Amino acid sequence: MVDIKPFKGILYNKKRIPDFSEVTAPPYDVISPAEQEALYKQSDSNVIRLILGKELKGDDEHNNIYTRAAATFNQWLQGGILDQDFVPSIYIYRQEYRLKNGNAKIRTGFISLVKLEPFENGRIRPHEKTLSRTKQDRFNLLKTSRATFCQIFSLYSDPKNQIDPILNDHTKSSPEVETVDGDGVIHRIWKITDHQFINDVKEIMKDKTLYIADGHHRYETALKYQQEMKESASGYSGEELFNYTMMMLVDMNNQELTVLPVHRALKNLNKEDVAELIANLRPYFYIEIFQFDAKNEQDQLLNLLTEIETRGKKEHVFGMYAGDSKYYLLTLKDEEILDKVLKQKNAENWRKLDVAILHSLIIDYILHVKTTASDIQAHIKFVKDDYKAVDLVNSNDYQLAFFLNPTKVDQVKDISNKGAILPQKSTYFYPKPLSGLVMLRLE
């Protein structure tokens, strides 16, 4: 059973912070060093000071980014920058945005507490590989601050469309919060304390399965924190707040969710592997070349990306750039190749997934870069912007860039149901929930 419940959220005090765009931030894992610095300068009260602090000379176990985050959080609560609600609520969260092609979209979900469960129970399911260093970082922050500053984003299936109409009925009033982020996404929050609404949502959600879309590291961190707290708790009841995590829950059936591709830039590769790459790809892929010069480079990149999107509806296709005035279009010759080349059990599960084929066949098998944490950190940069991937190769800091289509939502569901795990950054659900809109104190 999926157990959700309302909670006393912590929000910025509108009397002290009239413009939430000054104090909210993207999730920690998509913030570059330059963006971190800009958010620091934007406001002394920006949530960046909680989710992604600056390391200082002389930091030690008693004074560091985690202790400063905890102290700052408590100071903001005591000083009235943050307010905790008196009544437990469920928070409706709506995001309005436009895609590059101009199409307008709306995504509506709700924020509640969800009782933690181990993945093996099967009611809360992951789909991506996590990295131990990132989990340790998030655990240190959670343990020291005893708080959560951003929601884990999860999906559920509601084929009878029972919940979205309930949510929409409660968004006819003025929102509690409305703000616009740097990408032009409009974020709105409604605070719902109505007992009937809460009971209806709780009842409908009981038999659902949750699929983590974004926040795998934070969920695993919450499980570790729960275990540690259980071992030290006296009079454990199971209802302590550390048994829950804060999630934004969105119906995957009745909304057209946006998933963007996450391209790969590779560096520190063996020079012989790069030199022989085209020859080594030919047994497995049909290769087409998009030659360009200074006058038509952008047009050819657009042509490549258009071909990837169009052909990707029926075939497994990838783009590649090696800094040699050519873009390459790679089309997998036959899915049966995977069974012959790949010996791991996941070969069958991954047959339809471009991102897994890219990693397992090209990056791992041909380029000899494994999907271990150390290899990923040493060799791979995940890039959502096409032109940035090209720029990284042109800078000579990276040797190759690979472009791919996004993983589909139904593929995420399918791979999760099979208990398989995809490589890190296999999906980029857009837009991201903002950090700092609604926060949770675990005490």
Q: Which domains are assigned to the chain?
A: 4-258+430-441 (3.90.1530.10), 262-405 (no CATH)
Output the pLDDT for position 343: 59
Residue 158 has pLDDT above 70, yes or no: yes
Task: Find the radius of gyration of the CA atoms of the chain.
Answer: 23
Q: Tell me the HSE value of 108 on the side-chain side, using a 13 A CA sphere.
A: 14
| Average pLDDT value over all residues in the chain | 92
DSSP 420-440: --BPTT--EEESPPPBTSSBE
Q: Taking residues 344-353, report their average pLDDT.
A: 61
Give the 3-state secondary structure of residue 367. coil
Residue-wise pLDDT for 194-214, tens only, equals: 999 999 999 999 999 999 999
Pairwise CA distance, residues 30 & 181, whole Å: 14
Residue-wise pLDDT for 113-135, tens only, equals: 999 999 999 999 998 888 888 89
Output the pLDDT for position 278: 96
Residue-wise pLDDT for 381-407, tens only, equals: 999 899 999 999 999 999 999 999 998
Residue 380 DSSP class: E
Pairwise CA distance, residues 115 & 106, whole Å: 27
Q: How far is CA 326 from the centre of its chain?
A: 32
Output the pLDDT for position 317: 96
Pairwise CA distance, residues 263 & 426, whole Å: 9
pTM of the predicted model as reported, rounded to 2 decimal places: 0.91
Give the 3-state secondary structure of residue 323. coil
Among candidate residues 287, 263, 430, the one with its CA nearest the CA of residue 359: 263
Higher pLDDT: 192 or 377? It is: 192
